[in-house]
């Protein structure tokens, strides 16, 4: 499978959502969905890396799938608000590279 850009992923999510009359949920509903998905990710992380084993009848989800769900909802949220996630990422990286340039101990080159 060829690599997809973040823009490609946003367009793919938009094409999927656009086939339904309901379209994107409201920002408040998307925030609730994002919170739900992050909670499911937290549960998987706790099962894999924490002290809480899964119950025998609990679904066999994965960290990878939960991260994918979070990415899908994030794209829905951004698309519904007209936000280009690549531009948002670039702005955040600029912030970290300037404001936090000397915050962490760098590895020796």
Q: Are 75 and 65 in contact (CB under 8 A)?
A: no
Closest CA to 88 of 7, 3, 31, 4: 7
pTM for this structure? Answer: 0.86
Residue the block writes with tokens 């080159």: 109
Kindly report the CATH number assigned to the domain that includes residue 69: 1.10.287.1080
Residue 107 lies in a domain: no
pLDDT (tens digit, 0 to 9) for every residue of the chain, 109 residues total? 579 999 999 999 999 999 999 999 999 999 999 999 999 999 999 988 988 778 877 777 789 999 999 999 999 999 999 999 999 999 999 998 898 878 888 888 6
For residue 63, give its domain range: 6-99
> Residue by residue, what is the 3-state secondary structure of 16-62?
HHHCCCCCCCCHHHHHHHHHHHHHHHHHHHHHHHCCCCCCCCCCCCC
């Amino acid at each position: 499978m060829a690599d997809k850009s973040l823009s490609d992923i946003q367009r793919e999510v938009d094409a999927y959502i656009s086939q339904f009359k309901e379209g994107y949920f409201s920002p408040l509903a998307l925030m609730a969905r994002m919170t739900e998905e992050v909670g499911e990710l937290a549960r998987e992380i706790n099962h894999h890396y924490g002290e809480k084993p899964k119950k025998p009848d609990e679904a066999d989800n994965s960290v990878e799938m939960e991260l994918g769900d979070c990415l899908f909802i994030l794209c829905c949220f951004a698309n519904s608000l007209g936000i280009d996630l690549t531009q948002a990422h670039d702005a955040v990286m600029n912030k970290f590279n300037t404001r936090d340039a000397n915050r962490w101990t760098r590895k020796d080159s």
